[in-house]
Structure 1
């Protein structure tokens, strides 16, 4: 598609549906500021895709699908931030990290969360039970209805993902 045609199509999509999308997000988020941010992020995502805008038959369905995905990510990030801040509030004040350290910790937690989401469900569950709950492989195997050997394979897969995450960082 010619650049000016794509630009015109995006402008038209934006002008015709931005207000609707913003209201749709505001209703779900209960916050005008976050809704405005996610509406902008949605159009930025549309801009970054190599899609043929004139070929979109249901623009509101298209936009709401993208916005919903962004909203789920927003809620996950909020939940992780709340959990981190709750854990931090239980620490003595002299252990409080600096704002820069907190930001690095949050980035790391979000990267770990994203890595865990990429794992198959049984691998993720085995890893979390082992690392967070301290369950033995035998107990995990029982809970997942698999062999202990399969749990070892799951753990190896999860550890490989952790190593790849560490190398990327």
Structure 2
């Protein structure tokens, strides 16, 4: 991809994309950040010179980034709610909080794409430490179904890890 193609794409569509994002987010700072992140994705994908419908492509990339932003904020709020319920003496440092939050976001990304029931089964097993029998009872499903859900979840996680390496 040429620098000229990216530069032309940026100049022609950055203002439009920022406005498009501002309408959806009601926040100029977030819109500016996500517009920049969208163009970084285009740069990394090396696709600026081959786009036939640039606004459609940019909007698609930006939509995914908006979803990621909301997902991250929701996860962060849930984590902060849990922290607020704990005594201050046991609160982790700000650095530890940032590391935990980043790990939670990575886990959420890894589990993205699993069906809700499979994801819930995996979380009950891996994060809450429930046995398969306890999960079956809690969810009102057969033990065999729990086994199937866990197999799907493990396969999915292995595939995601393979993609990362």
Per the normalisation by structure 1, the TM-score is 0.79
Indicate which of 72, 75, 80 corresponds to 1:77.
72
Indicate which of 145, 149, 160 corresponds to 1:150.
145
- Tell me how large the CA RMSD over aligned residues is: 2.6
In 2, are the aligned partners of 1:140 and 1:151 still within 8 Å (CA)?
A: no
Asked if 1:140 corresponds to 2:139, the answer is: yes
Shift of 1:14: 0.4
Asked if 1:27 corresponds to 2:26, the answer is: no
Q: Which segments of 5 or more consecutive residues in structure 2 lack a partner in the other structure?
A: none
Q: Deviations along 1:85-117, whole A, 9 cap, x unmatched?
A: 111111111111111110111011111111221
Shift of 1:41: 0.3
Equivalent-residue separation in structure 1 for 2:93 and 2:138 (angstroms): 39
In 2, are the aligned partners of 1:126 and 1:155 still within 8 Å (CA)?
A: yes
Greater alpha carbon shift after TM alignment, 153-162 vs 90-99 = 153-162
Per the normalisation by structure 2, the TM-score is 0.81
Say which one has the larger Rg: 1
